[in-house]
Amino acid sequence: MKKLDKYIIKTFFGPFLFIFSVLFFIFIVNIIWTQMSQLTGKGLTYWEISKFLFYLGINVVSMVLPLTILLSSIMTFGDFGERYELAAMKAAGISLVRVMMPLFLTVSILSGILFLFSNNVIPDFQRKAKNMMYNIISSKPAINFTPGVFIDQITGFSVKFDKISGEKSEKLEGVFLHKNASPYDDQQTIIAKTGKFAPAADRNYLKLILYNGFVFTDNITNKPYEERKKQPNQSIKFDTLVYHFDISELINNAIEKEKITDDYRFQTYSEVNETLVKNRKGNIVTLNSIASPVISQTNNYVEYIDRSKSKDKIKEPYKIDTLKSPKKLEVLYAAYNKIESLKTSIDSNQNAINDTIKTHNKIVMYQQRIISYSFTCIIFFMIGASLGSIIRKGGMGLPVVISIIIFIIFYVLNLSVENLSWKGSLNPYLAAWIPNIVLFPFSIWLTYKALTDSQLFDIEKYKALFKPLIERFSKPKEHERYQ
């Protein structure tokens, strides 16, 4: 490595480390802003909160690194141009491509590191974040309860608290518990004015003490329909009631810290491939189960024709015009009811289909972005280095403005194609790469302009371009002395 290469790389890593630290802090603050309201006042230590937020914050590296490379490359080459070092290099016979080459190789290595980081480190830290949340749930169960909102994370129950207070969020007001059961099983609902969480003897259970309430029960298991209709409602008033929730499932999941869960966000690129294969098989079964009832309701006549071995033309059972008015109205009304029931069925099935498509596309886009963000680093370097050599301005002024504009364009593209993909309007494989596909030709064009010493940001050039047009529509001014 020549001294010039060392100098270029050293100049690049100065702003790189500073900008990366600042951007990482900004993104972490955003996570803190969204999560802190759910964590403070829950009896957690500052170390527990910091550790949990750090696990979540590691995920932002995949967005911070490309932006850092973009801004650092603009500042580096802008400084070279502003100090006339770039002109001196060109005068010595060193082309811009040769000047960019050591940083291009450096950024390529950083892109490879980002791929390994996104593929191995980020999924592991996301898994740790979720396991830590399970640990918090097991030791601080009120952390996942939002006042006035029904939650169903406790297996078999829907729970709502009107108000949660206390130093450790253990005091409750307006308690509503409903046991989730099928229409043929016993129903139970508990309402209490106040309550509180208390330590349970068995850590697999969450202990809840309720005060001043009622237990409403319907015992209808194994009873015929007519008898269930006559079953009177049963209510029991209580002053104090102790209830234990089984949270062993949550705790057991939390204890298995080294086990990769089924969540695709905790998996590497190759593991996501296996998940996609299983997901496609499951989707086929799901879609067939949705489609079969609709087909059987609409295509009975067609299925009859398909099963028939007779080559003779099958006649219609009757013609609607030959029926008498009462019978015709009856047939038309039956057809209308059938169509309406099919429309209702299709509308309800559409949500299930949309959820299936959205889940599949989310997995695909997550997998493809493990690679695509690495290529984004290289594209951002080409854009940044070219812009820096053209504008010849270093520091934190104009380079920062241009970097933010480019990153906003990239981010908006990312969100737009993501939403289109989730709706099923865009192929997820293509959607993950569209931002790179859009910006890559732009980077090639900027690089060409930089190599040809284009005056792309020369204001005087644009003034001269529009000068004839301005003079044509403006009235010539006389000298002040002759006015």
Distance CA 392, CA 77 (A): 7
* Pairing mode of beta strands 171-179, 205-218: unpaired
CA distance to 156, 181, 216, 221, 223, per residue, from 226 (Å):
27, 20, 21, 13, 8
- The rounded distance, in Å, linking the Cα atoms of 379 and 107 is 10
Show me where the domains of the chain are located. 156-246
Q: What is the DSSP letter of 41?
A: T
Residue 309 phi, psi dihedral angles, 5° rounding: -95, -5
Other beta carbons within 10 angstroms of residue 111's beta carbon come to 22
Sheet bearing 234-246, strands edge to edge:
157-165, 171-179, 187-198, 205-218, 234-246
Q: Is 194 helix (H, G, I), strand (E, B) or coil?
A: strand
State both tokens at 374. 């690495």
Structure tokens at 463: 């003034």
274's torsion region: left (phi>0), alpha (psi -120 to 50) or beta? alpha
Per-residue pLDDT tens, the chain, 483 aa: give them: 588 888 888 888 888 999 899 888 888 887 777 776 666 555 566 777 788 788 888 888 888 999 899 988 888 888 888 888 888 888 888 888 888 899 999 999 999 999 999 998 888 888 887 777 766 655 555 456 778 887 766 667 788 888 888 777 778 889 888 887 766 677 788 899 999 888 777 767 778 889 999 888 877 776 766 666 676 777 888 889 888 877 666 555 443 444 446 677 888 888 888 888 888 888 787 777 776 666 666 655 555 555 555 555 556 666 666 767 777 777 777 778 877 777 777 777 777 788 888 888 888 888 898 999 999 999 999 998 888 888 877 666 666 787 888 888 888 998 898 888 888 888 889 999 999 999 999 999 888 888 887 666 555 555 666 667 666 666 665 555 544
Query: The whole model's pTM is what?
Result: 0.65
For residue 313, the Cα-to-chain-centroid distance in whole angstroms is: 56
Contacts of residue 409, defined as CB under 8 A and 6 or more positions apart, other chains included, come to 439
169 membership: H or E segment, kind and range: none
Residue 196 bridge partners (DSSP): 171, 209
The structure tokens listed for 332 are: 């038309």
Residue partners of 97: CB distance under 8 A and separation at least 6: 451
β-pair partners for 235:
216
